[in-house]
Structure 1
Amino acid sequence: MKSIVTISSKGQFTLPAEVRRSMDLKQGDRLEVSFDEGHQRIIITRVAAIADLSARVSSYAKRTEPVLDVDAYYQEHRTGKSAP
């Protein structure tokens, strides 16, 4: 998909509606803009929302119970048996 846009006096341009729909962009979404000097290209990438990142990290995180009795925990893991 190709579109031609015009840069305003403030250095701004509007992403064409077709591009916004294709990327499922909505008001308030954040984008990263970078420049590939080798190919002389502007690259626009969606920045993940903090809620999306949190969900991804949470899916990898292993939930554990807090250690309330340090001595018992140490003994259990040292000998491989539960403390009395």
Structure 2
Amino acid sequence: MYSSNNNPNRDLIPISEQFAQVLESDIQDYVESLRQLDTPVIAEELYNSRQRMLSENVIQQAEQVQGLGSMVAVDAGHFHSRG
């Protein structure tokens, strides 16, 4: 595993652990913000905004399409499928 630390007087921290330590509080804040937005009032406002954008042709609703039935990812323009 790669490790990194700019301070020679400290033990090396594995990059994955270092990454997790830096982002942990940010992820917790993000999840809490999403929870605060999950209210009937917000849902109604989002629905009304979406309906207005549809009626003014700001956005368009796509037709229903059949799913691929498996996990699909695109990586640098290459199609990958795991079924």
TM more than 0.5: no
Larger Rg: 1
Of structures 1 and 2, the one scoring higher in RCO (CA 8 A, sep 6+) is 1
TM-score w.r.t. structure 2 length? 0.26
Q: Which has the higher helix share?
A: 2
Q: TM-score, normalised by structure 1?
A: 0.26
